[in-house]
């Protein structure tokens, strides 16, 4: 999706029609990049292009060996509240929101390697689940159009996640 299509998707009359026929689909900027969480310092890197100036969200995805394993999980959590993204520290220690997972995100412009984002996030709370998978938000960032590289690092080893496939994606979140 480019800037023109994105702008049209926001219009009151034409926007809903474009959504219905699938013209407003915004594919992930980064999809399913492996990020091992069982050891501190493990990192993932990726290159990506931003087609539209807007907010984007990093999502952690967890793939369990089975649906039963997902249902028994206590690490990722089983609930969500708005505080998970705005004030995760307020929910720490509550088992239904899972264990906190601190992640560092460093984004650089591809052209000159200058740092655009260098932030630590605390991922907490489950965003959703399906079959043997769960997902969690990591954090929101605002990016301008351009080409970038990102390094995402796990800051604290997470016990009991060695057998769970973990990956990270960068998605557009809501279209507006």
Q: How far apart are CA 176 and CA 157, in angstroms?
A: 35
Q: Which domains does the chain have, with CATH numbers?
A: 28-171 (2.60.120.790)
Residue 15 near residue 175 (C-beta atoms within 8 A): no
Higher pLDDT among residues 118 and 74, named by residue: 118
36-79 pLDDT tens trace: 998 899 999 999 999 999 999 999 999 999 999 999 888 888 88
Alpha carbons 93 and 121: distance in angstroms, whole number: 17
What DSSP string describes 109-141?
A: ETTT--EEEEEEEEE-S--EEETTEEEEEEEEE
pLDDT at 8 over 80: no
Which structure tokens are listed for 166?
């973990």
Which pLDDT band, with edges at 50, 70 and 90, does 176 fall under? very low
Residue 142, strand partner residues: 55
Note the pLDDT of residue 175.
Answer: 41
């Amino acid at each position: 999706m480019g800037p023109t299509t994105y702008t049209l998707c926001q219009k009151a009359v034409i926007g809903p029609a474009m959504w219905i026929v699938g013209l407003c689909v915004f594919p992930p900027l980064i999809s399913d990049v492996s990020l091992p969480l069982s050891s501190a310092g493990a990192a993932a890197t990726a290159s990506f292009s931003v087609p539209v100036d807007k907010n984007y969200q990093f999502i952690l995805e967890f793939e369990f060996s089975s649906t039963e394993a997902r249902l028994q999980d206590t690490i990722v959590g089983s609930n969500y509240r708005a505080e998970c993204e705005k004030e995760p520290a307020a929910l720490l220690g509550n088992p239904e929101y899972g264990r906190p997972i601190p992640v560092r995100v460093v984004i650089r412009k591809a052209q000159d390697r200058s740092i655009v984002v260098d932030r630590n996030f605390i991922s907490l709370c489950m965003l959703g689940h399906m079959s043997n998978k769960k997902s969690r938000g990591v954090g929101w960032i605002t990016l301008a159009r351009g080409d970038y590289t990102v390094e995402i690092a796990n800051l604290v080893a997470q016990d009991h996640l060695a057998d769970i496939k973990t990956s990270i994606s960068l998605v557009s979140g809501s279209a507006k």
